[in-house]
Amino acid sequence: MFLCSHGRMLPRWSEAFQEGRAGKIHTTRVGAKFDVVDIIWLRLEPELPVAMQIERLAPKLRLIPCVVLSDRPTDEEALAAFAAGARGYCNTHAAAQMLIQIAAVVLQGGLWIGESLMQRLVSATSRLQALSSTAATEKNETWSKTLTDREEQVARTLAGGASNKEIARALGITDRTVKAHVGAILEKLQVRDRLQLSLIVNRRG
């Protein structure tokens, strides 16, 4: 179910979910009927605080995973959305395939954070782990045993806060190769995303 001020489906929403419906959300109530709804897609109104817009959902809707859609997404707005209980955050006009991917992640209990915010979280995690390393003398290196040498290089560079393009430049490989390595690393280590990988790589013994 897509909720927005005009109550109409956008073309990319319809392309992603052919049976999707739209409802009109008002300041104090939701003008739509809900029977079987897996995800609420909430398009933000730019003049209102994010938390207020999520909070004004009907009580029963707050039990349904909510993905926030923003016309002008920013990391700060994303953080506010997650603090208010959102399970995902993306551009209102994201491609249909991305919307499908977001739905799959959220329905499996995950969070869809977005590349920019994910990068910030990975970098922050790396810095925090570095600060705490003064009390430890050894790294827990068991995570690297299942990886190839190149995969380990990619994992360490990624955990340091580098983007795919920065990893590609640092290691002299293509962006496509980096994506393939990252996919293999996540699968081998059985982690969901780059943030979890960063926590594992930076964890101290």
Q: Do both 93 and 139 map to the same domain?
A: no
pTM listed for this prediction: 0.59
> In whole angstroms, what is the distance from residue 142 CA to residue 37 CA?
42
Q: Do both 81 and 120 map to the same domain?
A: no
> In whole angstroms, what is the distance from residue 85 CA to residue 54 CA?
8
Count of domains observed in the chain: 2
Q: Which of 96, 113, 130 is the last residue of a domain?
A: 113
Strands of the sheet with 22-25, listed across from one edge: 30-31, 22-25, 2-4, 40-43, 66-70, 88-91
Statement: residue 131 has pLDDT above 80: no
Q: Which of 84, 113, 142 is the last residue of a domain?
A: 113
For residue 43, the number of C-alpha atoms closer than 13 Å in the C-beta half-sphere is 20
Within the chain, strands assigned E span 2-4, 22-25, 30-31, 40-43, 66-70, 88-91
Average pLDDT over residues 89-112: 91
Q: Do both 105 and 156 map to the same domain?
A: no
Q: Do both 60 and 49 map to the same domain?
A: yes
pLDDT band at 41 (very low <50, low <70, confident <90, very high): very high
Average pLDDT over residues 16-35: 68
Task: Tell me the residue range of the domain where 160 lies.
Answer: 116-202
Q: Do both 28 and 108 map to the same domain?
A: yes
